[in-house]
Chain A
Amino acid sequence: MAEAEKLVFMVTHGPADPELATIPFVMAAAALASDVQVVMGFQADGVELVRNGVADTVTAPEFAPLAKLLADVRELGGLLLVCGPCVKSRGIPADDLVGGAQVVAAGRFIAEITSATNSLVY
């Protein structure tokens, strides 16, 4: 049996750049719909996107609202990994992240990236 395909999307832009914040979610949702495993990694300002309530405030023109896309990714089984130092430096407590988001360190990101079919950085 062939090994499942997996894509890692590294998200480094936050609410200040709605388009670059939204596109990785669009891609992740499309990948999940295509039976591809998805890991989303949030670093730098990207961690703000998985803070409770923040996705509700982000909509890029001609794209679905980020809150809808985030819900789709979670519903379809996307894994949300969040950079530990990035949330710490921003004063974001782990219990203020959306359900299912896991705070991790660099080693976990490397493990996911090196085991993926491909990785994309936004």
Chain B
Amino acid sequence: MTATATELETLTAAKVVDARGSACPGPLLEAKKSMGTVPLGSVIEIWSTDPVTKTDINAWSNKVGHEFLGAVEGEGYDRVFVRRQK
């Protein structure tokens, strides 16, 4: 289930992954590596300048069993939020 933009804006992530400037599949790999470093139920926030990252992370989350919360626009990049579920 995705959160509203307001909910995402006010959400405090357990970890912020700065993947800005990273080419596909860099943001996905960074998300994968970072997810294992936060407790179950925690949220990671991925920053990406690649506009397809949000759909990529959404598909990845569904595939591996995490909860994709949504994305909001930062200043020149996307902020993508995923909750660790396993």
Contacts and interface: CB of A to CB of B under 8 A. Distances in A.
Interface in A4-38: 26, 29-30, 33-35
A39 to B, nearest CB: 18
B23 A29 contact: no
Interface residues on A, range: 10 to 19
B23 A62 contact: yes
Interface of B: 22-26, 28-29, 31-32, 60, 63-64
Contacts of B24: 26, 30, 63-64
A29 B25 CA distance: 7
Contacts of B23: 62-64
28 contacts: A26-B24, A26-B25, A29-B25, A29-B28, A29-B29, A30-B24, A30-B25, A30-B28, A30-B29, A30-B60, A33-B25, A33-B28, A33-B29, A33-B31, A33-B32, A34-B63, A34-B64, A35-B63, A35-B64, A62-B23, A63-B23, A63-B24, A64-B23, A64-B24, A64-B25, A64-B26, A72-B29, A76-B32
